[in-house]
Structure 1
């Protein structure tokens, strides 16, 4: 249905709960009340700067969620982070949310469905954004207000629109400084594929949005985000099993 929408019309679907929420691969996404969940339809021209580097879109969405909170006056030190390729984390400790992007190409246009879920007011199954705000208030003797799911979704969509516009005008260089400010991985050492795999240092993202790592044996190589993810507990870049 979304492919028949007029080019200048957006579509945002918001769920208060889901019975069959899903993540990447066969992962399930738990969807309790208090989790901000939405699907956004976006159209990107193939010959545009973002269209030529479409893997960047999932990075922009994850960044938009973090910026939605941390760009609020007083909230800049709330410890929200982007975990490559598509997760939102509390520091490097706990996952708060994730992004899933699916695409269809018709003619010269990407028709993309962006799915996102973020724990906002629900402390289970991990922690939520308002837990972090409450903790920050206690530590710094201040009174930042909790956020609502509606507020987070609205700010995320606005931030995403700005990030996409910036990317379309200036390419990766226009967003990467902000992305690196918010992500977890600069300069970290990880092993590829297994605990006995080669040790490499994370360098950043290449111009296609793939993870760039450096090893003594191979120099700088790229790891595609589709099918790979960080295992934060083992400090690995692993292949997802399906």
Structure 2
């Protein structure tokens, strides 16, 4: 299996050239070095300013100063021939995809998703996979990846009351198919959730895998969940 990887050392400021799939929210500010800026929009309501302020404080608490560097965002060992210990493999031959999930997680129904697994005790620590029809053949056909990802976290994944922050983004090619994995945080006034998302296109479908946990557990389980995000593969349906 041929694998090549491109890790972006910076993420340009989103231009939002991609059509929105939901109501727009305030875009996350990204510095020239890929570090989310803790800035408050002066035109926001008092409630929105409060959410943005909480987001800044929590990011500094959980992630330290700025976003994680690209050097700490390596490809996991899931591309080896053998499955890592303490993981199981989910394969959907009908819909043409597979991924790893922790062995102690259990399958559950997640509305609007094709498959999902969650921690036995913490429902918010989970992985889920969804797809929609598309006439595109590659993720780059959608648009520049920085714009595509910014649109997803601001207009699709986040609710109007949440502040979305992009922390990192990585592109890679596996057996001729392009994938993009990105790390982000969604912050509400009283809650924050961090996640990895991996997107890919194949079989006339636009696939999205999301694996995440609440803010409190992210630092401890981030590397474990990164293995899940990196393991996602699309294969041609027979």
TM-score, shorter chain, exceeding 0.5:
no
